[in-house]
């Protein structure tokens, strides 16, 4: 194993042992899983020269030995489809897929495979930083005296996604890009919040619309607003349509009125109506955090018919654990849990198996009251009703937890 920082700035010598320059950087292709070093950038005076790998006779922590002299090598101009380890990797933030976090590269681990030198991974530990600064030997002495251990934390190259500050940065590997999209939206949100604005936007733009919308729902308010400020209205409206109505309403309430109206006008009419229904309520009340996507059925429906309804409609509901039984004008009459539905006979009618003693909250109930009710009655969701017991939505336990955790 070799470490790039131990080779950087070391002497480049010819076969006779005469120094002709210093190692300035190393170049590798853009789209290889464990990319090979194709060229070494040599600094000689104020100029940089490109040494092809086939001209490299030997490389180790003492430096590089090459075949030829300075005049045999071309001056280095541009990256020409490659990226540079020093310029594009060292000190850059990367997304660690396995650890689901954002980290900074302190060093690059290299590995000789036959005659090829390949990038094996990145070191994000204290050893990599101390090696870069030239203090690793001193640190080992202190470690022995004070029982301190500098850690070496190597992440394999195929487990990272590099986020360059330049939108045209070549160091975006397709294999790791696919890995990014497999993370849970909550983990993606944590990663995005650790990135700067430019890097956050760049990574967010790689996500498909559904994943991006789910990730937005998990982001803190400040990060949401930063991302939305950079999105064109059409893209922002598409994301709002994919979000659950309550989360979309919360986001729109934080936007300037003029832009919120513009985005609503671009949304699908049905989706926009669901969101508008929630915008009339205060943010920290039952109405403000409820979802108007829930399952309801008339009291005369059979168990078999209700199960078939769930199969067809469950993807559009916030929670499928409860079916709310409603009469005229959606007046709440009772509730049936999924468990009660499963153990009942297929021919049973909902009015005969429903719980008619209803635990509900008004639209102006505060979050702490809702939390008390969910804990007292062991509920996963609480229906929200108006003064005439017309159901307006439900508040799920995860929404309650979000608000309590913020406090």
Structure confidence by residue, pLDDT tens digits, 269-291: 999 999 999 999 988 899 999 99
pLDDT at site 336: 97
Domain of 9, CATH number, reads 2.30.30.240
Quick check: is 287 in a domain? Answer: no
Show which of 233, 253, 280 is a domain's final residue: 280
| More confidently predicted of 131 and 318 | 131
Quick check: is 129 in a domain? Answer: yes
Paired tokens of 5 = 């920082």
382 and 343 both lie in a single domain: yes
Lowest mean pLDDT among 143-152, 171-180, 307-316: 171-180
pLDDT at site 150: 52
Quick check: is 119 in a domain? Answer: yes
| More confidently predicted of 80 and 104 | 104
Quick check: is 290 in a domain? Answer: no
Q: Which long-range contacts (CB under 8 A, 24 or more apart) does 398-401 make?
A: 399/246, 399/289, 399/290, 399/291, 400/289, 400/367, 400/370, 400/371, 400/374
For residue 202, the enclosing domain spans 183-280
pLDDT at site 159: 74
130 and 98 both lie in a single domain: yes
Show which of 135, 154, 176 is a domain's final residue: 176
pTM: 0.69
Q: How many domains does the chain have?
A: 4
313 and 402 both lie in a single domain: yes
What mean pLDDT, rounded, does the chain reach?
86
165 and 217 both lie in a single domain: no
pLDDT at site 16: 92
Q: Are 379 and 358 in contact (CB under 8 A)?
A: no
| 175 has a pLDDT exceeding 90 | no
191 and 276 both lie in a single domain: yes
205 and 132 both lie in a single domain: no
140 and 163 both lie in a single domain: yes
Using CA atoms, how far residue 376 sits from 214, 298, 369, 372, 406, in Å, is 30, 28, 11, 6, 21
Quick check: is 123 in a domain? Answer: yes
Quick check: is 342 in a domain? Answer: yes
Domain of 383, CATH number, reads 3.10.580.10
pLDDT at site 168: 40
Domain of 218, CATH number, reads 1.25.60.10
CB count within 10 Å of CB 76 equals 21
pLDDT at site 198: 79
150 and 199 both lie in a single domain: no
Show which of 139, 160, 176 is a domain's final residue: 176
| Nearest CA-CA partner of 21 in 30, 34, 33, 12 | 12
pLDDT confidence tier of residue 21, bands split at 50, 70 and 90:
very high
In this predicted model, what pLDDT tens digit does every residue of 208-259 receive, in sequence order? 899 999 999 999 889 999 999 889 999 999 999 999 999 999 999 999 999 9
Task: Say how far apart CA 175 and CA 320 lie, in whole Å.
Answer: 36
304 and 398 both lie in a single domain: yes
Quick check: is 156 in a domain? Answer: yes
68 and 98 both lie in a single domain: no
Quick check: is 230 in a domain? Answer: yes
121 and 162 both lie in a single domain: yes
| 56 has a pLDDT exceeding 90 | yes
In this predicted model, what pLDDT tens digit does every residue of 293-316 receive, in sequence order? 899 999 999 999 999 998 887 555
313 and 401 both lie in a single domain: yes
| More confidently predicted of 402 and 368 | 368
| 92 has a pLDDT exceeding 60 | yes
Task: Say how far apart CA 123 and CA 83 lie, in whole Å.
Answer: 18
């Amino acid at each position: 194993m070799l470490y790039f920082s131990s080779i950087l700035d070391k002497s480049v010598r010819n076969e006779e042992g005469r120094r002709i320059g210093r190692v300035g950087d190393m170049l590798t292709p853009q789209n290889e899983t464990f990319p090979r070093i194709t060229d070494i950038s040599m600094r000689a005076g104020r100029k940089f020269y490109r040494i092809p790998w086939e001209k490299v006779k030997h490389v180790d922590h003492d430096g590089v030995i090459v075949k030829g002299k300075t005049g045999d090598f071309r001056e280095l101009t541009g990256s020409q489809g490659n990226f540079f380890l020093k310029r594009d990797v060292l000190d850059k933030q990367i997304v660690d897929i396995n650890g689901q976090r954002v980290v900074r590269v302190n060093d690059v681990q290299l590995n000789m495979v036959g005659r090829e030198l390949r990038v094996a991974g990145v070191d994000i530990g204290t050893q990599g930083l101390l090696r870069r600064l030239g203090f690793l030997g001193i640190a080992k002495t202190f470690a022995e005296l004070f029982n301190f251990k500098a850690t070496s934390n190597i992440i394999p190259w195929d487990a990272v996604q590099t986020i360059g500050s330049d939108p045209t940065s070549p160091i975006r590997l397709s294999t790791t890009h696919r890995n990014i999209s497999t993370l849970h939206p909550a983990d993606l949100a944590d990663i995005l919040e650790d990135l700067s604005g430019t890097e956050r936007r760049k990574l967010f733009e790689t996500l498909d619309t559904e994943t991006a919308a789910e990730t937005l729902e998990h982001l803190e308010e400040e990060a949401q607003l930063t991302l939305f400020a950079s999105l064109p209205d059409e893209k922002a409206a598409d994301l709002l349509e994919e979000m659950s109505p309550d989360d979309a309403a919360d986001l729109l309430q934080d936007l300037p009125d003029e832009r919120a109206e513009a985005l609503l006008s671009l949304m699908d009419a049905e989706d926009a109506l669901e969101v508008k229904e929630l915008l009339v309520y205060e943010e920290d009340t039952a109405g403000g955090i409820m979802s108007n996507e829930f399952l309801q059925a008339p009291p005369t429906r059979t168990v078999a018919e209700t199960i078939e309804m769930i199969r067809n409609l469950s993807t559009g509901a916030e929670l499928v654990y409860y079916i709310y039984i409603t009469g005229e004008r959606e007046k709440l009459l009772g509730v049936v849990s999924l468990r009660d539905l499963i153990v009942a006979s297929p021919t049973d009618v909902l009015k005969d198996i429903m719980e008619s003693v209803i635990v509900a909250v008004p639209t102006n109930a505060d979050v702490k009251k809702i939390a008390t009710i969910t804990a007292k009655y062991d509920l996963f969701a609480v229906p929200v009703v108006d003064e005439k017991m017309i159901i307006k939505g439900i508040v799920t336990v995860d929404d309650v937890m979000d608000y309590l955790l913020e406090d």
